[in-house]
Amino acid sequence: MPSEKENRFVGPRRGQLVFALFFVVVSIVLLGLITEQTRWVEKSKLFAQPRFWPAVGLGLMVLFGGVHLYRLPWRHVSRYDWWEVRKWALVLEFAVWFMVYVVTVPILGYLPVTLIFVPALSWRMGYRSRFMMWVSVGFAVFVVLLFKTFLSVKIPGGMIYEYLPGGLRSFFILYF
């Protein structure tokens, strides 16, 4: 049975306890690692120290995250909290798509990988008609041409281009 304090809480409840716990734990871990990630410079003013402002930020994150956790009117995780955590975890799929894309570009090249991933992501998002597949392929070609030709972004050529004949190889490395 919910307490009086729980009933008076205004706002969405699901996921707050899990998020607050995660936030405080990550903040404490980062604060514990600050001596390994930053340094203290001798004969430097306090506010100019490379470690000072990150320590202040992390300390405040621990403090205010702890206060938020303490002030929550409930202390147990419900099934609705786990549903919310599952929704948050679904976003990680697209981070994996991006990391696979980044890893395969230097191997296969910018154009082939983009021509594979854009239609694959369109398919994954539910755009499965023949028209949308062609639109995604056209968009992939447009993006490659925009970045490589017009904006002159230096993207490394794929290792697979090394197997092409001389003139074609340099053309692909420069433009695709």
**Which tokens in the block code for residue 111?**
């154009």
Amino acid letter, residue 98: F
Residues 10 and 80 in one domain: yes
Whose structure tokens read 């062609």? 134
Q: What is the model's pLDDT at position 173?
A: 73
If asked whether residues 14 and 74 sit together in one domain, one would say yes
Report the domain count for the chain.
Answer: 2
Token duo for residue 56: 């202040």
pLDDT of residue 109: 87
Q: Say yes or no: 8 and 37 in one domain.
A: yes
Predicted pLDDT of residue 56: 94
Residue 49 burial class via C-beta count within 10 angstroms: exposed 0-12, middle 13-18, buried 19 and up? middle
Report pLDDT for 6: 60
pTM (2 d.p.): 0.63
Nearest CA to 31 out of 67, 53, 62, 52 is that of: 62
Q: What is the pLDDT of residue 168?
A: 83
Picking from 90, 115, 145, the residue at the C-terminal end of a domain is 90
In the numeric block, the tokens 């702890």 are attached to: 66
Q: Are 84 and 98 contained in the same domain?
A: no
Q: What is the chain's pLDDT, residue by residue, as a tens digit (176 residues)?
A: 566 656 666 666 778 888 899 999 999 999 999 989 887 788 888 787 888 999 999 999 999 999 998 888 877 888 888 898 899 899 899 999 999 999 999 999 888 999 999 999 999 999 999 999 999 999 999 999 898 888 888 887 788 888 888 888 887 777 66
Domain boundary among 68, 90, 112: 90
Q: Give residue 65's pLDDT.
A: 94
pLDDT at 9 (0 to 100): 62
Q: Tell me the DSSP string of 47-101.
A: GG-TTHHHHHHHHHHHHHHHHHHHH-S--S--HHHHHHHHHHHHTHHHHHHHHHH
Range of the domain at 41: 4-90
Specify whether 66 is located in the same domain as 81: yes
Q: 73 and 119 share a domain?
A: no
Q: Which of 36, 67, 90 is the last residue of a domain?
A: 90
Q: What are the structure tokens assigned to 94, written together?
A: 């697209």
The reported pLDDT for the residue numbered 40 is 79
Could you tell me if 9 and 84 lie in one domain?
Answer: yes
